[in-house]
Amino acid sequence: MAGGKLAQSVSCLICLEEGQVSEARRTYEGDENDEYTCPKGHKFNMDWSGGEATTPLWPPTEELKRAMEKDGKIGGSR
């Protein structure tokens, strides 16, 4: 139940820190936390104790990509 149907896939938080955007898929769905894994093998948890996602989290919106590029989180050509 944790993140719900709209949180089956999210941007990999570790790849984002490395300046890349990649999809991480939910590998475990808990009551309040979900575990995700990306193709590079990065694993991380997301806390959903505040409620399920209300919008799809993958792929990232163009607005979010522009914001990440502006903040230097990802490169413009990725």
Domain extent listing, the chain: 5-70
Look up tokens 């955007």; give the residue.
21
pTM of the predicted model as reported, rounded to 2 decimal places? 0.85
3-25 as b/e: b if 16+ CB within 10 A: beeebbbbbbebbbeeebbbbbe
Helices (H), 1-78: 13-17, 62-70
| Residue-level pLDDT, tens digit, the chain, 78 residues | 899 999 999 999 999 888 889 999 999 999 999 999 999 999 999 999 999 999 999 999 888 888 878 877 776 544
Starting at the edge strand found earlier in the chain, the sheet holding 43-47 runs: 9-11, 23-29, 33-37, 43-47
